[in-house]
Chain A
């Protein structure tokens, strides 16, 4: 029975870790490019969820269109934060601390705004069926192999997360624009000198990071509900994954997320589940103590 439990915890850990990898890439892409501690990454996460829920129930969008609408909202809100929140501070030579405070303020205020607009209730993702009635938007089937179970959404999380991770890594490493991102990340002054537009790079990076955060938000809305505080804890996980896995590498951040997910799940094999946050933060602390650049990051020269 312990072996069966181990098998299930590994599967659950991979699912959770894949989701963490998605969050890590989202947060890491923005942080590594702009050095902004983008706590407000929670907003695109929630905007996608509420966008999908609202458009499905009010505009009667079918599921596929509601999801796209949700992602569009994620990108829009992500760019709004950049253009209305960060750019003005940057234009006045604001420090990274100032940008962090802006991000913190937005991330604190936005859940309250959601509460005011949508109310405090949990809102599930439902779509109109052929009978004209609102019903569950998604059949989350459960698949069983012996002791181990996995759901449709779990499988999608794994597949989508790693497709996104590798897609983003390829984009950054193998495309011309991706090299602009790398250049800006490595040496902003030189990048500007050779004509790379910082603002354009930031806009693309924030749009992409927000899109990825939005994908994560849609998973939560589809599996559970949308609610005003849905994004906060997941955003923090993204931050932990980046610093745990390695600053400076998106692949390291995503692998860091995967390891964190496995750690979270497997720690409960011998410890109570209430120890999971202790294990996660403990792992981060020890890693940064021993390897400040992260588990897989490269040491500063």
Chain B
């Protein structure tokens, strides 16, 4: 009896294990549109960027010839501080891929080698971010750093300043990171910079709207939630904020919030939430019967998958990356990204792709000045001297876009717009610009 019991149980276990292994192995070979990106992204990460003439020459056409003046032979120890695990792991993955592609293209084009070490701040855990940054500095001797998220980046600011590590944040931009030595943001300030333009567009599109409901988190965009947005709305419409709800980042159940917003009966809803939260929010609001316009601060495909068809009623205002931008560099970038990873680049990955090219440009400038390109202080000095860089944002068929840092507060100016979501894809409705605090919000709208 005992032997047959063991035999039966062993068979069950073997069968279960076999199914599990089959499931795991087959999963990598899925060929469907929905899972291909996920599976092939994981698998393709192992492959080299196409060391094709097209990739190298395309970069040389835009950035000039390679060689010693371009940093060939120079090794730059670069670090990345990302969310590689946890709820934000999607962002860490796309950011690291953007950086990896850039490094490969630059090397193929006769530029320096960016030797990158990736550290995980575990979805924004500040103590971990500090520990990992110190490790990158002491063990990997990094000269440059690509950081992400707001709270960890603010926390490591003194460390990178003391160690002299030129750092760029293209993800969780925040006012708390402004004017910090060695810390620069290549993303428009989340929520704050597009706010005036977003509300001005709402006012122009829905002139009868007088009441607004605000939704936000307690982490990002708090100043905009509490101060700028209400002030801009009052200036534009003379109206009021009828509901203001904040939630924990990572929340998935928004039914209660949706009910409260609905009960407040706003004419418009503005959300400062980010990531997947927006998708859950929009879905809950629409299912609660809330039909008024909803405008947010970012678009991610992840959130769109969650919200489904209800995202087609969503607007957002941000410095949004457009994969169809005919800017020659962007065309080259998109082709290379598709060839290497099998999918289109997206917003966050593009910011981190650009960052490596910013570092490269600075390396070239320092070399041209006869300096040491592995000295972060000299790299920063070169940035301050000339804060403009080529960008995959903006531009047109003939010209590459330009993004310009503010040498004083270390923020950036990039093309921004208000977008609608049509059939799950963003469509530009209105270009907007950043305005000074207290300025007339209507001046944020770019004349068509």
For B12, B35, B218, B246, the residue with the greatest tally of chain A CB atoms inside 10 Å of its CB is B35
A76–B289 Cα distance when bound, in Å, is 40
For B17, B24, B89, the residue with the greatest tally of chain A CB atoms inside 10 Å of its CB is B89
Cβ–Cβ contact B256 & A77, under 8 A = no
- CB-CB under 8 A for A273 and B245, given A9-B259, A76-B16, A225-B305: yes
A116–B289 Cα distance when bound, in Å, is 38
A249 at interface by CB-CB < 8 Å: no
- CB-CB under 8 A for A265 and B90, given A8-B288, A119-B39: no
Cβ–Cβ contact B12 & A79, under 8 A = yes
Within 8 A of B (CB), among A59-84: 73, 76-77, 79-80, 83-84
Residues of B with C-beta under 8 A to A142: 287, 289
- CB-CB under 8 A for A118 and B39, given A58-B30, A134-B34, A229-B87: yes
Cβ–Cβ contact A115 & B257, under 8 A = no
B375 at interface by CB-CB < 8 Å: no
Cβ–Cβ contact B305 & A120, under 8 A = no
B7 at interface by CB-CB < 8 Å: no
A233–B252 Cα distance when bound, in Å, is 10
Q: Which of B31, B256, B308 is within 8 Å of A268, CB to CB?
A: B256
Contact-size category for B: 35 or more
A217 at interface by CB-CB < 8 Å: no
Cβ–Cβ contact A121 & B287, under 8 A = no
- CB-CB under 8 A for A274 and B248, given A12-B259, A149-B288, A225-B306: yes
Cβ–Cβ contact B27 & A117, under 8 A = yes
Within 8 A of A (CB), among B277-320: 279-280, 283, 287-289, 301-302, 305-306, 308-309
Cβ–Cβ contact B90 & A120, under 8 A = yes
A280–B24 Cα distance when bound, in Å, is 37
Q: Which of B13, B255, B288, B301 is within 8 Å of A16, CB to CB?
A: B255
A interface footprint on B239-282 (CB within 8 Å = 1, 0 otherwise) = 00000011110111111110110110100000000001001100
B227 at interface by CB-CB < 8 Å: no
B85 at interface by CB-CB < 8 Å: yes
B interface footprint on A7-36 (CB within 8 Å = 1, 0 otherwise) = 011001001100000000000000000000
B38 at interface by CB-CB < 8 Å: yes
Q: Which of A54, A126, A225 is within 8 Å of B27, CB to CB?
A: A54
B33 at interface by CB-CB < 8 Å: yes
- CB-CB under 8 A for A57 and B256, given A76-B19, A274-B218, A274-B248: no
Cβ–Cβ contact A118 & B35, under 8 A = yes
Cβ–Cβ contact A83 & B280, under 8 A = no
Cβ–Cβ contact B23 & A54, under 8 A = yes
B interface footprint on A223-246 (CB within 8 Å = 1, 0 otherwise) = 011011100010000000000000
Residues of A with C-beta under 8 A to B75: none
Within 8 A of B (CB), among A155-196: none
B207 at interface by CB-CB < 8 Å: no
Cβ–Cβ contact A134 & B16, under 8 A = no
A95 at interface by CB-CB < 8 Å: no
B348 to chain A, nearest CB (A): 12
- CB-CB under 8 A for A119 and B260, given A83-B13, A112-B85: no
A interface footprint on B80-91 (CB within 8 Å = 1, 0 otherwise) = 000001110110
Interface size on A, residues (CB 8 A): 56
Within 8 A of A (CB), among B81-119: 85-87, 89-90, 92-93
A91–B260 Cα distance when bound, in Å, is 53
Residues of A with C-beta under 8 A to B34: 53, 57, 123-124, 126, 134
Cβ–Cβ contact B17 & A224, under 8 A = no
Main secondary structure of the interface of B (DSSP, over half): helix
Q: Whose C-beta in chain A lies nearest to the C-beta of B12?
A: A79
Q: Which of B27, B218, B257 is within 8 Å of A118, CB to CB?
A: B27
Cβ–Cβ contact B35 & A57, under 8 A = yes
B interface footprint on A138-149 (CB within 8 Å = 1, 0 otherwise) = 001010100101
Residues of B with C-beta under 8 A to A274: 218, 245-248
A interface footprint on B1-42 (CB within 8 Å = 1, 0 otherwise) = 000000001001100110110011011101111110111011
Q: Which of A112, A116, A124, A273 is within 8 Å of B308, CB to CB?
A: A124
Cβ–Cβ contact B37 & A224, under 8 A = no
Q: Which of B9, B89, B256 is within 8 Å of A265, CB to CB?
A: B256
A151 at interface by CB-CB < 8 Å: yes
Cβ–Cβ contact B305 & A58, under 8 A = no
- CB-CB under 8 A for A272 and B246, given A151-B287, A233-B252: yes
A78 to chain B, nearest CB (A): 10
Residues of A with C-beta under 8 A to B248: 274, 276-277
Q: Which of A1, A16, A117 is within 8 Å of B28, CB to CB?
A: A117
Cβ–Cβ contact A121 & B16, under 8 A = no
Residues of B with C-beta under 8 A to A77: 20
A107 at interface by CB-CB < 8 Å: no
Cβ–Cβ contact A80 & B263, under 8 A = no
Q: Whose C-beta in chain A lies nearest to the C-beta of B215?
A: A273
A/B interface sample: 24 pairs, CB < 8 A: A8-B263, A9-B259, A58-B27, A58-B30, A58-B31, A76-B19, A112-B85, A117-B28, A119-B35, A119-B39, A119-B41, A120-B89, A122-B90, A136-B309, A142-B289, A149-B287, A224-B252, A265-B256, A273-B245, A273-B260, A274-B218, A274-B246, A276-B248, A276-B256
- Listed in ascending order, the chain B residues whose CB lies under 8 Å from chain A are 9, 12-13, 16-17, 19-20, 23-24, 26-28, 30-35, 37-39, 41-42, 85-87, 89-90, 92-93, 218, 245-248, 250-257, 259-260, 262-263, 265, 276, 279-280, 283, 287-289, 301-302, 305-306, 308-309
**Supplied contacts A4-B263, A80-B17, A117-B24, 6 more A-B pairs, CB within 8 Å:** A58-B31, A79-B13, A121-B301, A122-B276, A229-B89, A268-B260
